[in-house]
Every structure is written in structure tokens, then in C-alpha cells.
Amino acid sequence: MITIIDYGMGNLRSVQKAFEHLGFPTLVTRDKKKIAKASKIVLPGVGAFKDCMHHLEEMDLVDSILGSIRSGKPFLGICLGMQVLFTESEEFGKHKGLNVIPGKVVRFPESALKVPHIGWNQIQKKKEVSFLKKVPNKSFVYFVHSYYVIPKDKKVITTTTEYGLSFTSSIQKDNIFATQFHPEKSQTIGLEILKAFANA
């Protein structure tokens, strides 16, 4: 069962519908026992880093997330769900994340480009991983974000994207795969990524 963690923020239903469209059963829950029994975990998210961490702590879900990751089960972080895996964020002050992936979350610098970065953009593959096996290089995917991650270990970077600068748009570390873009909004390409995760 693919379990989507409900912490009161994010596009839970659209992620669930995308998996169900592919024929994979899902469960949206904040029940710690059900999370522990899940075969695969998805942490989606839209909103502010500080609020996300506050909700996870308030609902006592941090240990469940960390336990799921330590157990080795496939774990997918989407957008804000990717960012909170990092050590800290500079969004509205400094805030600690889950510190699963060493690194930080920073805002796009001031430039001629609009922030937030919204819409379709290309991903440049940096290494081949199973989740991107059927995704052609320079495919277009859908983004909505003002902040991006800077991993300390560049070996975790699986794709980058250009938006005034080259930023990390997806990562993989052990059983974790995470994307700054939204697979559930990225049509055929996004569905291929979700299918690869569901079959992991």
C-alpha cells in the first residue's frame, strides 16, 4: 500500500488521484500505526517550510517519517516534502528540517525572472536512477516554488533545472527519491515517475 502522509498541508488529493489513475491503491493518513505498516511512503507538500515542520511536530509525525526512512522502504518527497528532508531552511528566518539530507533550502536570488518559479521547465539528468529510467533527458515537468535545495553531497543530485541559475530539481539517497517539481501535475512524464516509484 502506498501511504500518503496527511499533515494538514499540501496537494494530497491530486497525488492520490495520480496513483489511482495508474491503478495503485493508496491511503491518505496521519495514523502512525498505518504509516509504520505502509510498504511505500509519500510526503507531498505545498506551503511554507516553517509551517510544515510545525504541523509534523504538532501531529507527532517526525518519528514516523524518520522510522520509515530508516526501515529502507521506498520514500518519495514532493516539493515542500523534499525540502523538509534537508538540514535547514532560510524561508522566513532559519528553521530546522528533518536533517535526513545534509544541506539547506534557500530563496531564488533577485533577478529579471519572476519568483515564485511557476510553470513548465526542463530537467537535466545528472545520473541515471531507476525512478527516471523511462524519462527522457530534458523532459518538461511542472514547478511551483520560491526556494530550492542545496545538498552538501552533490552525489545525491539526479536532475538539475535552469532558472536564472542551475538548481537541484531531484535527488536520490538510498531509498529516498525526492523532487522539487510536482510529478502529479507533470502529465505523462510525471506519471512515469510515479509508476516507477510505485513499482520500486
Tell me the pLDDT tens digit for each residue of 29-68.
999 999 999 999 999 988 899 999 999 999 999 999 999 9
Range of the domain at 64: 2-198
Q: Supply the pLDDT for residue 52.
A: 93
pLDDT at residue 10 tops 90: no
- The number of folded domains in the chain is 1
> In degrees to the nearest 10, what's the CA dihedral of 76, 79, 80, 81?
0
Catalytic positions are 79, 182, 184
- 87-142 pLDDT, tens digit per residue, is 999 998 899 999 999 999 999 998 879 999 999 999 999 999 999 999 999 999 99
Phi and psi for 63 in degrees, rounded to 5? -65, -35
CA 147 to chain centre: 13
CATH number of the domain at 151, please. Answer: 3.40.50.880
Average pLDDT over residues 183-195: 97
- 147-175 pLDDT, tens digit per residue, is 999 999 999 999 999 999 999 999 999 99
Q: Tell me the pLDDT of the chain averaged across its residues.
A: 95
Prior bond to 136 cis, omega within 30?
no
CB 141 within 8 A of CB 121: yes
